[in-house]
Amino acid sequence: MKRLNGGGEIKAKNQLGIIGLGKMGGNLALQAAEKDIDVVGKARSIKPELEKKGVKVVDNYDSFVSFLKHPRVIYLSLPAGPTVDAVLYELVPSLERGDVVMDGGNSFYLDSIEREGRLRGKGIYFLDCGTSGGLEGARHGACFMVGGRNGGIKMAEPILKGLAVPGGYLHTGKPGSGHFAKLVHNGIEFGMLQSIGEGVALLRASSFDLDLQEVFKNWSNGSVIRGWLVELMEKGLREEGIESIEGYVEDTGEVNWLLQDAINKEVPIPVISQSVMELFKSRMHESDAYKSIALMRHGFGGHPFGKDDRIIKERKTSRIKKI
């Protein structure tokens, strides 16, 4: 066994297939390759920057599946919604009983439960793998919350532990639970972003000559509110500033699902609810709070500054099953 920087242990030359080699999938592939995992990625085009680091990249499912020995472990790094089902439609006929497919995107948890049922009937394990940590986590050690049956978990767990930070892997329970945990996580994230953004607005409106970058650097060292988002705010102020940032905050809509789910469960979530309303307001007028949120979101996930037609489309199509 070989101990890894991520805190887990995996056997040398385990194999992992990754479908979708964008920002998250590409960084995860690089991390895996560095940790003695044979990685094959399926993408629409060849990725020389990944191949020179040891990632095999193919553009068809036959080559992708043939590279992986049975039982296969495959991670989907795809936008939520119809894209996941389209890929499963093409991929599953080439798989064998006992193979494992993990959805590492932000799919709606009821969609994941339905997909798990479909693949279970074919003898294939489907795991809903909530993935957090942004681009940095994918590259250097992520946080995984994974729902699914024990048989599939047993096969995927050694790889996921190796790709996670210490303590950053959890089998949350039955199918759907991983994506549900990630959905709640994203709601909490929204509330935290809004609070920090409002704090920036207050600091900038004060009569004091405050160096905001230094304030956030100070708060990152020992304060009660220290954490990655505070660190990202300091980094964003240092590298980008705030004056030139567009305050339009884009999102893919997952936390809207959480609000609807909370209403159905009659669970009050006023802070998360208001953070979503504030996000909508960001699309109507500029403010320092909204600029700050955009700055932090860009820092952890590479989210765009300003309006993005692709994300707007994803927001409307990424959930299949209705609540």
State how far the Cα of 322 lies from the Cα of 299, in Å rounded to an integer: 32
User: String of b and e for 276-297 (b: at least 16 CB within 10 Å)?
Assistant: bebbeebeeeebbbbbbbbbbb
Q: Name the region of 169 (left: φ>0; alpha: ψ -120 to 50; beta: rest).
A: beta
Query: Which of the following is catalytic: 116, 157, 161, 189?
Result: 189
Query: Which of the following is catalytic: 182, 250, 254, 314?
Result: 182
Q: Under a CB-based contact definition with an 8 Å cutoff, are residues 250 and 314 in contact?
A: no
3-state secondary structure 270-300: HHHHHHHHHHHHHCCCCCHHHHHHHHHHHHH
Sign of CA dihedral 31, 60, 114, 258: positive
Nearest alpha carbon to residue 139 among 65, 55, 63: 55
Q: Is 182 a catalytic residue?
A: yes
Catalytic sites, residue numbers: 182, 189
